[in-house]
Amino acid sequence: VAGSEAGWWVTLQGSGQVANINNGNVESYEVGPDPRGISVGGDGRTFVSRWRSTDEVGIVYEVSGDELVLGYDITPDSDTTNRGVPTLIEAPVVSPDGGYLYVPGHQGNTARGIYRDGQTLTTPKLTRIMMTCVFVVGVTLLAEFRQT
């Protein structure tokens, strides 16, 4: 649930929609599969996370119909990072100036394993908490910095 002058926004997880409740009126908007976290920027743009990602990318929807795609991380596995896809994405947070979107979640190591790359998948290399900072103009992803 997130609120602004334009009313209250609620994710409808089972339907792939969000609803805007304003002065007793309810309008639904199709965003895509598995909507979860929701936030509203100062300019009224509403962002919705896709909770469970595809095998290739993480996604943050904008209610306008656009998507921010969070790419597959190819950074080599180490004691502090792992390869993989952003997933289990929580509510994105819009910076006060509207230029950045902070996206929290997990990064599952979908590249490692005996049948994938020949390396054993150990607990420290399985998944990590991650925070992605996306610099956006409109919904164009200009730069992405991810910390796992």
Model pTM?
A: 0.84
Q: 37 falls in which pLDDT band (50, 70, 90)? A: very high
Exposure b/e, 127-137, CB count within 10 A at least 16 = b? bbebebebebe
**Of the candidates 134, 141, 139, 131, the residue with the CA atom closest to the CA atom of residue 43:** 139
Tell me how far apart the alpha carbons of residues 24 and 129 are, in angstroms, rounded to a whole number.
39
Decide if 144 contacts 118 (C-beta within 8 A): no
User: Among residues of the chain, what percentage have pLDDT more than 70?
Assistant: 91
Q: What is the pLDDT of residue 140?
A: 55
- Check pLDDT > 80 for residue 148: no
